[in-house]
Amino acid sequence: MEAVVTQYAQDALVEEYIDGREICVALLGNGELEVFPSVEIELGETGIYTWEAKYQAAASRPKVCPAEIGSGLATLVQDISVASFRACQCRDYARVDVRIDRAGQPFVLEINPLPGLNIHSTFATAAMTAGHSYSSLINQILHVAHLRCFGIGIPRPCWTS
């Protein structure tokens, strides 16, 4: 930490590592939110979802959707995710990453107001598990944003499945 503070001449943020399972919750909307099924990231031996695991196909880790957690914990994680979305004043869509410690206690790691949207992303995986096609997900995000900005949705005939 001293080397970071010295090298960059600024404060450093130090956080406690939470050993456990990583669950991602994708949210869509502005008023009533659509909460997609949660996705568990297989962390492997490192316990960290690294850049390489996220973006290099050879190193990508499997995703389990819906995450295999009890219904009570699933509801709690969803409620925490919705509360985080609202507290951070997110708009249109976001992904909340939660770590469940060994005692079953959830901790919000981060909220990502602009999560990746490639077809293999966690957000797309959750949406497709909920029954969206990839193109309908993208169109729905555009519809929600258009409705927020202009007070009307995008006319349905331009939507594709």
Band (141; pLDDT cuts 50, 70, 90)? very high
Residue 118, both tokens: 């490639």
| Residue 91: predicted pLDDT | 97
- Is the alpha carbon torsion for 38, 44, 47, 50 positive or negative? negative
All domains of the chain in start order, with CATH: 18-158 (3.30.470.20)
pLDDT in tens, 26-71: 999 999 999 999 999 887 666 676 666 666 654 566 788 999 999 9
100: nearest Cα among 121, 117, 77, 82: 77
Residue length of the chain: 161
Query: Is pLDDT above 70 for 148?
Result: yes
| pTM of the shown model | 0.84
